[in-house]
Structure 1
Amino acid sequence: MLKIYRSNCTDLYELTLQTLERGAWFNLINPTPAELEQVAATTGTPLDFLKAALDEEERSRIELEENHMLVITNIPVTRGHDSYDALPLGIVLTPDYIITICLESNEVLADFKSENHRLFSTFKKTRFLFQILYKSATLYLKYLKQINRRTDEIERYLRRSMQNEEIFQLLELQKGLTYFAASLRSNGIVLEKLLRLRSTSQVQHLIKMYEEDEDLLEDVIIENKQAIEMVEMYSRIMNGMMDTFTSIISNNLNRVMKFLASMTIILAIPTMVSSFMGMNVDVPFGGNGGFIITLLFAVGVTALSAFGLWRKGMF
């Protein structure tokens, strides 16, 4: 899907390839090969730049050519309940346009809409780039807080009962934290490189930084570092929680096995006594009242055994 937008002081309006204006924003979501070729021909962008973000395994990086700069950053996405992932987002800066490419519709770009047109300007390409990166960093923080709240809920469930479903949910959240950690670190490298590029003459015609833009970039770096710290903290907490619940499950299993072993010993005693007294040979107390005596003897020995096992903590 290809959408072209241009903002002004009063509105964000949509354009076409025939009514294209300088300062437009090309937004490509899961584009077709024909759309990629159209954008490449219209903007002069290398086709490899446009295709780079369509690989789900693509890492964050920056590539420079004479009149084009490609910034690939990983943005957070949700894959359903308790499932989080990171997806590459490509941002191409040209002297006249800004282009975003992603495999899926996402919450990062969805925030740049006509209702919020006063908060961004498509023709201020550098600031718009930093605003996209800032939105991505804040979205990481938002999802991390959701993961933390969900972890607390699962912990309360696990305190009452050990169910496999809650354990699997914790594993899914832990997987999401792992994806976030890798993505945030690579995003941090990209942000540091952008900070260094601000004084490089090679990209002065692509990136024009004013004081507000530098402050915004520094805010993005701070938010990204905060997200990395939160990921590391939540990962340590979740790892400790998983180890604790694993120990609890193992301890509960040991208690069950100990109880079953004690019950086996107790039930074996009357079985053994009745087996001896039930032989088809002459045995003591074989006359009248022998059954009662044998029963009382078995009950007495069983009670003594149960008391001894109880004193040793087997129950």
Structure 2
Amino acid sequence: MLEFYKTFEDGTRKIQEPEPGCWINAIAPTEEERNYLIEQIGVLPEFVKSSLDEEESSHMDYDDDFRQLLIIFDYPSAENEDDDSIDSTYSTLPIGIVILKGYVVTISLYENWSILEMSQGRIKGMDTRLKTRFFLLLALRISQRFLICLRQIDRLSSRAETRLHQSVENDELIEMLGLEKSLVYFSTSLKSDEVTLNKIMRGKQIQLYEEDEDLLEDVMIEIHQAIEMCNIYSNTMAGTMDTFASIISNNMNIVMNKLTVITIVMAIPNIIFGFYGMNVRLPFPFVWFPSFVAILACVVATVYFFRHNMFK
């Protein structure tokens, strides 16, 4: 899907054909649309390919010959993104921002909230003619989206922990493991985005004006905050998982201890009757005597184990 947007005096509107100073939004482009970007718009083929690679990490690439800049930036993605859903899974995906003469092009495999908000004109100060500011505003929305997803992960983790306090089930542990994996993805992508922003801050490939520098600082603050939150949640969740692993192991030891005690008590009559079953002469060879001794021994052993808290 290809969409074209341009900022006019009265705001940003969708247009039918690309014009100088417009924003071209490509989401899951078909082969024909890719060829259009390459042949008609002039985007380098390798830039299109990199933007559509799910495994591509955040980085910046500049082509001196064609004077094109590619910025790969990771953004958070969620399936079943609902605050009350325990099945939400989070990951990160790349989006490519190509800055070339006359246009700014965004290329991604999937729709995302940040692009949707920008296309709806809900971003204050957005101007498709100001390419650097356009990218920084997009990066700011992505960093803020990271913070929103991190808070959702924290709420889901707290709910799973509450259920684990009531009963330790596999579903809650698997959910906690999935959230911990999401935090690892977030941490890796945030650090890559931070490296990319640090390169932009040096101002070698992108010229930064005073307003752009202030906006870049805001983006860096949001990214740093997201990294700190991600580290805190990761450490907290890792500690929680270790704690419940210890609880499960301790509960297993308690169960095995009770089974061992019961086995010992039940083995006492077998031992006594085993003596009287041997082909030797023993005192009081009457049925009532070994039975009485077995019952008495079981009662004594049971009282002993109770006093020593072996049944708890």
**TM-score greater than 0.5 by the shorter chain:** yes
Amino acid at match of 1:71: I
Q: What pairs up with 1:258-273 in 2 under 5 angstroms?
A: 258-273=257-272
Task: State the 1:255 CA deviation.
Answer: 0.7
Aligned match of 1:44:
42
Q: What is the alpha-carbon distance in structure 1 between the residues aligned to residue 213 and residue 121 of structure 2? A: 26
Task: State the 1:263 CA deviation.
Answer: 0.3
Q: What is the alpha-carbon distance in structure 2 between the residues aligned to residue 116 and residue 243 of structure 1? A: 43
Listed one character per residue, the Cα deviations across residues 267-313 of structure 1 (whole Å, up to 9, x for unaligned) are 111233344456788765455xx43x443332221111112222333
Aligned match of 1:23:
21
- The question of whether the paired residues in 2 share the 8 Å contact of 1:10 and 1:118 is answered with no
- The question of whether the paired residues in 1 share the 8 Å contact of 2:117 and 2:123 is answered with no
Aligned match of 2:148:
142
Task: State the 1:243 CA deviation.
Answer: 1.1
Q: What pairs up with 1:170-209 in 2 under 5 angstroms?
A: 170-197=176-203, 200=204, 203=205, 207-209=206-208
Task: State the 1:208 CA deviation.
Answer: 4.9
Q: What is the alpha-carbon distance in structure 1 between the residues aligned to residue 9 and residue 159 of structure 2? A: 46
Amino acid at match of 1:133: A
Aligned match of 2:83:
none
Q: What is the alpha-carbon distance in structure 1 between the residues aligned to residue 285 and residue 300 of structure 2? A: 25
Listed one character per residue, the Cα deviations across residues 153-201 of structure 1 (whole Å, up to 9, x for unaligned) are 111111111111111111101110111111011100100111111xx4x
Aligned to 1:185, the other structure's residue is in SS state helix
Q: What is the alpha-carbon distance in structure 2 between the residues aligned to residue 215 and residue 174 of structure 1? A: 34
Q: What is the alpha-carbon distance in structure 1 between the residues aligned to residue 262 and residue 100 of structure 2? A: 78
Aligned match of 2:302:
306
TM-score normalized by the length of structure 2: 0.90
1:122 aligns with 2:137: no
Aligned match of 1:160:
166
Amino acid at match of 2:140: Y
Aligned match of 1:85:
91
Task: State the 1:43 CA deviation.
Answer: 2.1
How many residues are aligned here?
A: 303
Task: Give the direction of change, closer, same or farther, for the CA distance of 1:312–1:186 in structure 2 (3 Å limit).
Answer: same
Aligned match of 1:132:
138
Deviates more, 1:36-45 or 1:261-270: 36-45
Task: Give the direction of change, closer, same or farther, for the CA distance of 1:122–1:213 in structure 2 (3 Å limit).
Answer: same
RMSD: 2.0
Aligned match of 2:101:
95
Q: What is the alpha-carbon distance in structure 1 between the residues aligned to residue 251 and residue 8 of structure 2? A: 66
Task: State the 1:37 CA deviation.
Answer: 1.3
Amino acid at match of 1:135: R
- The question of whether the paired residues in 1 share the 8 Å contact of 2:18 and 2:24 is answered with no
Amino acid at match of 2:31: P
Aligned match of 1:104:
110
